[in-house]
């Protein structure tokens, strides 16, 4: 019986392996799929299972230009595995007409230094490159507008990649927001000579600011002005908040400020100083601030320490607890020392730990004491 089953399985395996390419069971699962697209993707080693799961509708579209798009990507310097990866995460690319892809390449090359840089953007942001041809005119006008502002082409390319909506929308929309930002900068006493650099930093740090209506910026600045911030402080705050000033609204800021003042027990003047040093107090929700304050208190920190170093609230409780434990192992007591040592990036903190370790291991040396000389 066992021999009969084994023989039957062997014969079946022979029949399966003998199937031609267009009948491979692993290639197609749906008769409505475009067989040419499926076969081309299979030959390019694209993860068809992933494509079917996430965007199976692409495989049913006609016409498709799988091989043509793959060749154009390879002409840019893409390897076979890179092409497969792009098609796996963004299979809609196969629906992009070669002429449209050529137009997109020309538009992007007006802000990219070379094809290698362009390919890097396509790998990370394929949806930003493979766009509808109806957007070409808006893209062209928006690129020209940002270049007229003398923004760095590298920044413009990053904007195109991270917020493609900013380039597919009418150029007037971007002009309105940029004018509002420039006007706010000038009204708050910003220097004309520094405005280009200021705007470039703001857009690169949060490009989504361009997608917000100008009224949001005006409303938030008016709210902060009513809270007692001077024009110089508002300019400082606007620069520190970067583009995130448009992510705020008076209602959420009011709740966060109310919680912070009541919890920390500080005056309005102290609260403004805290915000200038740690703008995160404005945009973190009340629940997040409460969790972080409680975590610090459980670690033995007192309120006056938080008021002196409010930037510690930018770190989540898990990171704070980990860093406090590391410092404790190095003999540093956070309850009696400064909280500044907790701040900064992981690299900054590791440098601080290194200094503490050296201080702990270094032998005491008295430069005044005479050295013993051999007689």
pLDDT digits over 103-153, tens only? 999 999 999 999 999 999 999 999 999 988 889 999 999 999 999 999 999
The Cα-based distances of 147 to 83, 85, 206, 347, 356 in angstroms read 31, 32, 18, 35, 48
Q: Report the pLDDT value the prediction gives residue 247, as an integer from 0 to 100.
A: 82
pLDDT digits over 51-103, tens only? 999 999 999 999 999 999 999 999 999 999 999 999 999 999 999 999 999 99
Are 301 and 273 within 8 A, CB to CB?
Answer: no
Cα distance between residue 261 and residue 281, in whole Å: 10
Q: Report the pLDDT value the prediction gives residue 307, as an integer from 0 to 100.
A: 93
pLDDT digits over 259-288, tens only? 999 999 999 999 999 999 999 899 899 999
End-to-end Cα, the chain, rounded Å: 100
Q: How confident is the model at residue 336 (pLDDT cuts 50, 70, 90)?
A: confident
The Cα-based distances of 356 to 64, 86, 256, 297 in angstroms read 62, 47, 35, 24
Q: Is 367 exposed, middle or buried (0-12, 13-18, 19+ CB in 10 A)?
A: exposed
In angstroms, how far is CA 131 from the centroid of its own chain? 21
Parse the chain into domains and list their residue ranges: 251-361
Q: Report the pLDDT value the prediction gives residue 208, as an integer from 0 to 100.
A: 87
What lies within 8 Å, CB to CB, of 12 at 6+ separation is none
Q: What angle do CA 48, 56, 82 make, to 5 degrees?
A: 40
Q: How confident is the model at residue 13 (pLDDT cuts 50, 70, 90)?
A: very low
Q: Mean pLDDT across the chain, nearest whole number?
A: 86
Are 282 and 229 within 8 A, CB to CB?
Answer: no
The Cα-based distances of 190 to 151, 196, 214, 227 in angstroms read 18, 11, 19, 21
Cα distance between residue 173 and residue 195, in whole Å: 20
pLDDT digits over 159-208, tens only? 999 999 999 999 999 999 999 999 999 999 999 889 989 888 888 888 88
């Amino acid at each position: 019986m066992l021999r009969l089953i084994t023989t039957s399985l062997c014969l079946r395996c022979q029949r399966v392996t003998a199937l031609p390419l267009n009948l491979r069971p692993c290639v197609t699962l749906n008769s409505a799929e475009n067989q040419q697209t499926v076969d081309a993707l299979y030959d390019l080693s694209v993860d068809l299972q992933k494509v079917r799961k996430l965007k199976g509708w692409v495989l049913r579209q006609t016409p498709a230009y799988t091989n043509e798009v793959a060749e154009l990507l390879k002409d840019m310097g893409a390897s076979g595995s890179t092409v497969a990866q792009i098609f796996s995460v963004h299979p809609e690319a196969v629906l992009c007409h070669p002429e449209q892809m050529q137009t997109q390449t020309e538009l992007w090359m007006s802000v990219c230094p070379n094809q290698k840089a362009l390919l890097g953007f396509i790998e990370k942001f394929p949806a930003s490159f493979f766009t509808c041809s109806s957007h070409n005119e808006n893209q062209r006008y928006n690129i020209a507008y940002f270049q007229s502002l003398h923004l760095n082409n590298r920044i413009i390319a990053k904007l195109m990649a991270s917020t493609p909506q900013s380039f597919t929308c009418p150029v007037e929309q971007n002009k309105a927001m940029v004018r509002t930002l420039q006007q706010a900068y000038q009204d708050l006493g910003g220097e004309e000579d520094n405005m280009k650099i200021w705007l470039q930093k703001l857009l690169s740090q949060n490009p989504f600011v361009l997608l917000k209506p100008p009224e949001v910026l005006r409303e938030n600045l008016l709210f902060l002005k009513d809270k007692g911030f001077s024009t110089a402080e508002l300019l400082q705050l606007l620069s520190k908040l970067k583009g995130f000033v448009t992510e705020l609204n008076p209602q959420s800021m009011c709740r966060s400020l109310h919680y912070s003042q009541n919890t920390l027990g500080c005056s309005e003047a102290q609260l403004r100083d805290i915000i200038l040093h740690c703008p995160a107090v404005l945009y973190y929700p009340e629940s997040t601030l409460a969790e972080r304050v409680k975590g610090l208190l459980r670690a033995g920190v007192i309120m006056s320490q938080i008021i002196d170093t409010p930037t510690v609230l930018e770190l989540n409780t898990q990171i704070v607890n980990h860093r406090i434990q590391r410092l404790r192992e190095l003999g540093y007591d956070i309850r009696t020392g400064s909280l500044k040592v907790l701040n900064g990036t992981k690299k900054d903190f590791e440098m601080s730990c290194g200094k503490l370790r050296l201080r702990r291991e270094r032998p005491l040396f008295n430069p005044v004491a005479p050295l013993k000389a051999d007689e």
